Amino acid sequence: MFASFGSMILASAAIFLSFAYATTMLAYLTGWRALPEWRLSKQFVPRKRISVIIPARNEAQHIGECIRSIIGGSYPPDLLEIIVVDDFSEDETAAAARGSDRVQVLRLDGILPEEARHTANKKQAISIGIARAQGDVIVTTDADCVAPPDWLLAIASRFENGSMEVETDSMPAATIPILVAAPVVFHRERNLLQRFQSLDFLGMMGITGAGIQLGFQRMANGANLAFDKSLFDAVDGYRGNMQFASGDDMFLVQKIARYQPGSIFFLKNRAAAVRTEAQPDWRTFWQQRLRWGAKNAALTE
C-alpha cells in the first residue's frame, strides 16, 4: 500500500514538473518569436563614439585575432576606441595587443598591488578601462572572441534609436536603451562536447532574449554587452559584487534593471553576434559552469 502511494506521489511530481517545464519553454518560445529581428539600414551613419573594453589574462594566442576583427570591421575609425586591460598576464598578451597603434593597453601590474596577481580582477579591469574610456557607449567583449564586420554598427544603431529597420511592425516603443545585450555564439567546434555546448549556448541566448522581451528575466553575456558610459557611474559599477570571480555581466544588468526599468534590450541580429570557442574538455567545462553557478547563486541572495 505504502509502495503504491509512493509511486503515485512520484508520478504526480513527474507530471507536474513536466508540465511546468513545458509551460516555461513555451513562454520562452513565445517571447523569442515576439522579439523583432532588427535589420541594419543601409543608410545608417553612426554618430556615437564607442569604447571597446577587452579584459585579458594570458590570452596572447587569441587577442590578436580579436583586435583584428574589430579594427577590420565597418565602424568608422574616428568613432572607435579599443582598450585592452592586461590582468597580470604571464604570457605576451600585452605585446600582442600592442601590435596595432589603434589599441590602448593598460596593465594592472602597474595599477593594482602585487597581491592582486593571485585574484580574479575582471571587474577591476573593466572598471579601470571604463574610467579611461572616451566613448559615449561602452562595449565589453572577451579576448577570445571574434567580431563580425558590422558588429559595432548594429549596436550603435540600436543606441541611436530608429536607425534600424525591423522585420515586423511590432518594434518596441521608441525608447533609447541604456543597455543592450547582444548574442554570443560558439564556432569551430571540434568534438562532441563542443557541439553540445554550442547547442546549449544557442538555447541560452534564446532564453536571454525572450526573458528581456517578456520583462520577467534579465540576463546578458559580458562577451557582448553595451551600455551608456554615464550609467556605469550612476549605479556604482560593480560595487557590492567585487568578491565574485564572475558575474560582471549579470550583476550589472540587474543593477541597471532596478535603476531604470524598461531600458534594457536584446539585439536580435546576426550581424551583432560575436563568436567564441567552447571549452575543449570536461575539466574546463566544469570549471566554467562552477563559476557561472557561483554568480547565479549570489543573484538570489
Q: What is the mean pLDDT of each run of 10 residues along the chain (301 residues)?
A: 64 80 82 85 91 97 96 96 96 92 92 83 93 96 97 93 45 63 93 93 90 86 94 86 71 87 89 94 87 57 45
pLDDT tens digits, one per residue of 152-190: 999 999 988 644 444 444 444 445 678 999 999 999 999
Residue 154 and residue 226 in contact, taking contact as beta carbons nearer than 8 Å: no
Q: Supply the pLDDT for residue 23.
A: 83
Q: Supply the pLDDT for residue 258.
A: 86
Q: Supply the pLDDT for residue 132.
A: 96
**Chain position carrying cell 544557442:** 202
Distance CA 71, CA 242 (A): 31
Q: CB neighbours (10 Å) of residue 73?
A: 17
Q: Which of 177, 228, 185 is nearest to 204 (CA)?
A: 185
SS3 state of residue 238? coil
Distance CA 248, CA 85 (A): 15
Distance CA 241, CA 254 (A): 11
- Contacts for 200 with CB less than 8 Å, ≥ 6 apart: none
* CATH for the stretch 40-299: 3.90.550.10
